[in-house]
Structure 1
Amino acid sequence: MGYVTTDDGVEIYYKDWGPKDAPVIFFHHGWPLSADDWDAQLMFFVGEGFRVIASDRRGHGRSQQVWDGHDMDHYADDTAAVVKHLGVQGATHVGHSTGGGVVVRYITRHPEDKVAAGVLISAVPPLMVKTADNPDGIDKSVFDDFQKNTAENRSQFFHDVPAGPFYNYDQDGVEASDPVIDNWWRQGMMGGAKAHTDGIAAFSQTDFREEMKGIEIPMLVLHGEHDQVVPFEISGKKSAEILPNATLISYPGFPHGMPTTEAATINKDLLAFLRR
């Protein structure tokens, strides 16, 4: 565990576990969380002989709470700083939710790193917000409400999201876990309100469609069919159609936060992809 300073002077926190000569997996977390959200994957893949790396995005978790740079370009450049510092070029990059957008932007913005493969889990690409040429997207008012609630009463909102749609705990027959909800809240409240508010625009309004067409490396797309936060039909399904070399696995009933609640299944399918 340590810190690296980016070219624009931001301290980025990272975890680096496992043998230095082992195959590397770099994990990118979702909004508004931290590298801790990958606990179930970090422990599993270390046990399988991999070197695992996960960083907190700027303004999130233990990284510096700067007021600017909360966009996909800066997120990708911050990743490049960690990769360069640790010398882990050629890794497999795995992103959940917003982190999936970071994976796409890192691959396309930093071609000097010959990434081995990418994995998008419940990820925001290709484009979430509804526009004239993306008519089945989500109305911008939804994300405006997200920003309003984050800015005005973040503590309450960061309870309501995991207690409701993030893990499908608001659905009939789904038993809520208070510790899982509390851990989501803990991670969110570690970060900065400015980063979280700006990050909503980054994950909802960034258009990845054109750049995804040029990603030729193997890409695994994992998505829950009952994802209430990033709906499968507008995200995972479309990403698999756009990416030239994609493998899609969808899961009936799985929620947005499936790396936590469905870790056994996600880890198994990710391991199979890595050992293909």
Structure 2
Amino acid sequence: MTTMSLAVRDSSTMLRRNLKRMLRYPSMTLMMIGMPVLFLLLFVYIFGGTLGNGLGGAQAGRAAYANYVVPGILLIAVAGAAQGIAVSVAMDMTEGIIARFRTMAIFRPSVLTGHVLGSLVQSMLSLAAILGVGLLVGFRPNATPIEWLAVAGVLLMVTFAITWFAVACGLVTKSVEAASNLPMPIMLLPFLGSGFVPTDSLPRGASWFAQYQPFTPVIETLRGLMLGTPIGNNGVLAVAWSGAITIGCYLWSRRLYGRDPSR
């Protein structure tokens, strides 16, 4: 059996393992959907009238804000998924299963690949559910089929990047509790970007951070694809940020996974 076929076979096995875990413990998936949906309902129905009137443009009020806020909510969901995968990886690293895998004739990176692919499936299902709720509360995209494919690609790209970041968080920590806390700060990035209000409405320091942090170009790219707003260079920046995070965190995860387990 070639190395490639061994890698595909073992990665498929580890993917099935993670999908079965997802089905056996649906609470994490429900949390991934439930929390962003609560944020969506809160901001649209409680704050949407006032915030929508402040956006300007032809539309105003709650309907305008529903269109504005959905891309930010999608990124909240992507960031929220990081906690679950970090916990899952940390559980494997601390409960002895990795030590057993190390004694078996398997493709070693397949364990991490299974976590990443399983998380991508879970995240894509969650994002689809959140988009469905968004349509129910007034989100009205005008994207073409090609633009919807691009939206799916952008979401897959940024989710892949954040997933590898979460894997690294699960590997670098020495306990499940620490792994659950380490990725939490990234959930603040959509709030400190253009997810909920335009960046130019923020104080000077916060506005500068919002313009140059990774999530803002992703949000603006999604907003442009779904609603026809200007994208500018945000598409290029979204790809660059996602690529840099993916490569950096993949290399970091590989180094952490290959270290001596006795250390």
| TM surpasses 0.5 | no
What is the TM-score of this pair, normalised by structure 2? 0.26
Q: Per chain length, whose mean CA-contact separation is higher, i.e. which structure has more relative contact order (CA < 8 Å, sep 6+)?
A: 2
Higher CA-based Rg? 2
What is the TM-score of this pair, normalised by structure 1? 0.25
- Which of the pair is proportionally richer in strand? 1
